[in-house]
Amino acid sequence: MVKSRIPAPRRPLLLGACALLGTSALLVACGAPGTPAAAGDAAHRSAPPSASTGTTGTADGTSSAVRPTPDGDRETGAVPGRTPAPPAPGGSTAPASPYASPSSSPSAPGSAAPSASPSASRPATPARPSAPVPASHVLRHTASGGRTVALTFDDGPGPATGQVLDLLAQYGAKATFCEIGGNAQARPAAVRRIVAEGHRLCDHTVDHPQPMHTRSHERQVAEIADARSMIEHAAGDGTPIAWWRAPGGDFTAENERIGADLGMKSLGWSVDPRDWSRPGVQAIVANVQHDLRPGGVVLMHDGGGDRSQTVAALKQLLPWLVAQGYAFDFPQS
């Protein structure tokens, strides 16, 4: 009796061969559980799809967040006030240009693409120093010394300038007016009255930039020189301007030199009642009375906003100064 042969399934035979030979190639081909190929397929199947909130799926099933750059430059990620890390030694300080070089042209069909040429090196523009060298010759004293006081008024001429001049005339007081170039240009009659009544003029820049030391050298020159020209023209050509005053008192060795080259000294102050902030009439009066010493220079404002508190405080300060035996003087020059 002839026995019929039943063909054995092919996969059990292949698995048997894999187990017998034990080679990694056959194991991979067999797709045995736990092999890298099988694990990779499982991971790929289990990886979550990318979320619409800015995450990307990875091969191991995790997701990595795509974070926006910090507030500041959205292109470079620069943050205002934060100094960027220095470049690696020997590295380029300029980012690669996203545009093709003007000298490059498309490759002809079948020709090799031309190699990119290195961009020409350009000298980096030096950054403004974060800690500027302070000025060394800022004047904060009267010309005569002794029991004298120099009253100075900033940011005018403005609507309150006429009232200030009326009060000064009432007490025979002289003062120095540190004027904004644009305001002098807009109110030439007030400038001429200041000069006609025996007061002095001071350059307070074109438009009061703050902080001044962060501006370029050229911008600082323009702020000081152009304001001087505007004030002189409003007052009458040839009117002397002996001083200039930095906005906010931001004097540096650099802008002090600019003023000196234009024939002006840097004028500071010794008493600041902060009248510009409108702290109240009595606060202004009390600050001056408390801080003033013989030979002092008092800072106040006749422009730059509502100066009604300054005018009201001056009505009290002028008779008080006279009663205290102070004489009115100009600053050192």
Domain boundaries, the chain: 149-328
Which single residue is written with the structure tokens 């991971």?
43
Number of Cα atoms under 13 Å in the Cβ half of residue 80: 2
CATH number of the domain at 149-328, please? 3.20.20.370
Q: Which residues belong to the active site?
A: 154, 301
Whether residue 212 is predicted with pLDDT greater than 90 in this model: the reply is yes
* Chain centroid to CA 124: 19
pLDDT of residue 117: 44
**Segment 54-81, tens digit of pLDDT:** 333 333 333 333 333 333 332 233 333 3
pLDDT of residue 101: 31
Reported in sequence order, the residue ranges of the chain that DSSP labels E, i.e. its strands, are: 55-57, 63-65, 148-156, 175-179, 200-203, 243-244, 265-266, 296-301, 327-328
The average pLDDT across 80-92 equals 38
pLDDT of residue 213: 96
Pick the residue with more confidence: 59 or 278? 278
pLDDT of residue 130: 67
**Average pLDDT for the chain:** 75
pTM: 0.63
Range with top average pLDDT, 6-10, 122-126, 322-326: 322-326
Confidence of residue 260 (pLDDT cuts 50, 70, 90): very high
**Segment 295-319, tens digit of pLDDT:** 999 999 999 999 999 999 999 999 9
**Segment 92-148, tens digit of pLDDT:** 333 333 323 333 333 344 444 444 444 445 555 556 656 899 999 999 999 999 999
- State how beta strands 327-328 and 296-301 pair: unpaired
Question: What is the distance between the alpha carbons of residues 285 and 184, in angstroms, rounded to a whole number?
Answer: 28
pLDDT of residue 176: 98
pLDDT of residue 237: 85
pLDDT of residue 69: 31
Cβ(331)–Cβ(243) under 8 Å?
A: yes
Which pair of structure tokens corresponds to residue 111? 């020709």
End-to-end CA distance of the chain: 137
| Best CA proximity match to 294, nearest among 142, 174, 148 | 148
Pick the residue with more confidence: 220 or 23? 220
Which pair of structure tokens corresponds to residue 49? 């799809």
Number of Cα atoms under 13 Å in the Cβ half of residue 232: 15
